[in-house]
Amino acid sequence: MFGISAALTTPYTHGGHIDADRLNTHIKQVLTDGCSSVTLFGTTGEGPSVPCDARLEMLGAAIAAGINPEQLVLCLHGAAASEVIAQVKVALEMGTQRFLLPPPCYFNQPSDQGLFEWFDTVLSEFSGTSAQFILYHIPQVIGVGLSVELVKQLKEAHPDQVFGVKDSSGSFENTKQLLQLPGLEILVGDERQLAACARIGAAGAISGIANVFACRLARVLRDGVDDTQINTLVDVVLKFPVSPAVKSLVAHRYKDDEWCRASAPLVATPDTGYTTLAAAYDAACLSE
């Protein structure tokens, strides 16, 4: 089973650079907390704001800090298939084998045929290699979704490379349909649906809340029983821009306000929001 992967939030220095020391300390902490892996530079990690060279540099820094590359999932970004392919080749040389792959964005409702051709270009490059790809379905954020039929076609065309799907659509019905496809690990994006999805075969989650409550989410996945206080915390987080809100939770956990800093166009959660999020975090801690 894939398990729980923290959708890592990304710390920045005053100069706007990624803070590798804080990032690597946090990675080690969430792995100790119960994550089976961490996912770098996804939506929660402000990935589209991170240049390719910086993304790969931080991946290398994590491995140099002693983190097992097999526990590092790299989220890929880029509308050009060649740019995505180049990122994967470098990461594979470092020992990372799993990749979260969103569709290309900034196109007006591309057809399934067009999307298939784009994914096919990327996936074909890694036929016969150890690279495994988790298709990323988050249409409400990037404006491009992956139909269940498209996922089925990609799995059939590239059975060894298409490992699974992260379904962040928030639609339980969509997740149920994906779970009917054979040979795929289906991962949940909305922590509030994790228990219900676990009961019908979901393999895990790539989760922003795992930055602070990995052990609790691992228990939900194992037992298929809702953690009502975690669900309440998610409700609070969703009242704010999510990526800065998760940073606020991490900052409060570590008593380290440096974690609050965001990369433009995102901005840090206002003080009033921070107070609300901190109270929700404390309430979740008390319920454990």
> Is the CATH number of domain 3-226 3.90.180.10?
no
Which one-letter DSSP state was computed for residue 201? T
The confidence score (pLDDT) of residue 197 equals: 97
The percent of residues above 90 in pLDDT, for the chain, comes to 94
Instruction: Look at residue 109 and tell me whether its pLDDT is greater than 90.
Output: no
Stretch 64-90: mean pLDDT, rounded?
96
Q: Which residue has the tokens 């691992």?
A: 218
Average pLDDT score, the chain: 96
The confidence score (pLDDT) of residue 143 equals: 87
Instruction: Look at residue 80 and tell me whether its pLDDT is greater than 90.
Output: yes
The confidence score (pLDDT) of residue 1 equals: 84
Contacts of 109-113 with CB under 8 Å at 24 or more apart are 109/144, 110/144, 112/147, 112/149, 112/150, 112/153
- Of all helices (H) and strands (E), which one includes residue 72? strand 72-75
Stretch 220-249: mean pLDDT, rounded?
97
Distance, in Å, from the CA atom of 5 to the CA atom of 72, rounded to the nearest integer, reads: 9
Give residue 286's pLDDT band: very low, low, confident or very high (50, 70, 90): confident
Residue ranges covered by each domain of the chain: 3-226
The confidence score (pLDDT) of residue 106 equals: 81
Give the list of residues 6+ apart from residue 265 with CB closer than 8 angstroms, or none: 49
The percent of residues above 70 in pLDDT, for the chain, comes to 100
What does pTM read for this prediction?
A: 0.96
